Chains A and B, each alone.
Chain A
Amino acid sequence: MSEFSVTAIGRDRPGIVAAVSEVLLEAGGNIEDSRMAILRGHFAVMLIVDLPGEASSEGLASALESVRERLGLEAVSVSPVETLDAEDAAPSHVLTVYGADRPGIVHGVAALLAERGVNITDLETRVTGAADPVYVMVIELALRGLPGDELESELGRVADELEVDVSLRPLEAEAL
């Protein structure tokens, strides 16, 4: 078995998942992890598919290209990927950032996290439709040994520079 990443983006409409999954099924593939969502009116697809034998990305790419044309998708991309340990990185904290919308918020925060070796495991941003748009970013992260209060004070400094509000909280452990 070999694994491939498939990504696609297109103006949202019913039928995209059905069409993409049909191609993958016909190729004998098994969709493993995936994340799909509407971003600003475009449906974005990200998935890892397991294909039998010596499957090639060219075959898959050309089958998906017909889907792209038929549905008017903006882009489709296929790449072979290394089979990795499926164990998810465990996040330890959730970080919320919000403020008046302006360029630089994602980079400002992400650069600090990278500098401190903090790993982002999940990230989502939204801009609200209000007259004065508000930018909201929620990030799950793994601090990997960095003390939370140290990160919090550095985040505070970046927050002041970016004129946003931040909140860092540990994720609750599962109660059994």
Chain B
Amino acid sequence: MSVREILLYPDRRLKQIAAPAQAGEIDAIATDLVDTMSSLGHCVGIAAPQLGLMSRVVAVDVSSHPKAATSSGLLVLANPRITEREGSEVGREGCLSLPDVTANVRRAARVVVEHAAGLVECEGFEARCVLHELDHLDGILFLDRVESLTEDVFRRRNYASGGEAQSRSPEGVPRDSNSPGSAASEPERTG
């Protein structure tokens, strides 16, 4: 059992970009991730940097979560790369590294991810979790992707046109059409 401690923001490692995972280290890191995730009751995802391991590996398991309509079971993704993304939804997220904070975040509704052991397609809640964890590998926290302050109900009529995404994240926010996002009533404790 290698349960490790989860780093809490403002630990600077949470804002750093993780290095490509080397073949020889993946198994050990995966074990740490899975053991730590299992030891925490409602954790559906965790990224190596959250354990202070600056390597591009994440674990996600939404199989027993009521919000997950589809699930691929336990996913361990090393050197993941998003090859397709489609749609968009807003949902409420939290993070073990930022306790007591939740926010509305827009994520793609469906993604295809290429990784060391193959390819996986995820949608809905599982896609959200995968995207949240992948962001950790680039030092991006869910607060960097807050959708907007005011709830969808009181959206202002016309947002002035934006131009390119200006955040410091390497990937922009998905710019697909705005499906009426159901802001989840409970925050998801993704890693």
Contact = CB atoms under 8 A, between A and B. Distances in A.
A71 interface: no
Contact of B98 (A91, A128, A156, A168): A128
A98 B178 contact: no
Contacts of A173: 158-159, 161-162
A134 B175 contact: no
B112 to A, nearest CB: 23
Interface stretch (A19-27, A58-66, A103-111, A147-155): A147-155
25 contacts: A90-B160, A94-B148, A96-B143, A100-B10, A130-B8, A130-B99, A134-B101, A138-B103, A140-B148, A140-B150, A149-B164, A151-B166, A152-B166, A152-B168, A165-B144, A167-B168, A168-B166, A168-B167, A169-B173, A170-B166, A171-B160, A172-B162, A173-B161, A173-B162, A174-B155
A99 B101 CA distance: 13
A125 B42 CA distance: 27
Contacts of A175: 177-178
Nearest to A156: B168
Interface residues of B, number: 38
B166 A93 contact: yes
Q: Which 6 A-B pairs have the closest CB atoms?
A: A170-B162, A92-B160, A167-B144, A148-B166, A128-B100, A171-B159
Contact of A92 (B9, B161, B165): B161
Nearest to B180: A175
Residue of A100, A130, A148, A169 with highest tally of chain B CB at under 10 A: A169
Contact of A128 (B101, B145, B148, B157): B101
A129 interface: yes
Residue of A90, A149, A156 with highest tally of chain B CB at under 10 A: A90
A132 B15 CA distance: 17
Contact of B159 (A91, A123, A152): A91
Contact of A172 (B8, B100, B168, B178): B178
A26 to B, nearest CB: 27
Contacts, number: 118
Contacts of B167: 152, 167-169
Interface residues on A, range: 35 or more
A72 B158 CA distance: 41
Interface string A109-134: 00000000000011110101110101
Nearest to B177: A175
A91 B156 contact: yes
A126 to B, nearest CB: 7
A100 B146 CA distance: 18
A149 B166 contact: yes
A88 to B, nearest CB: 5
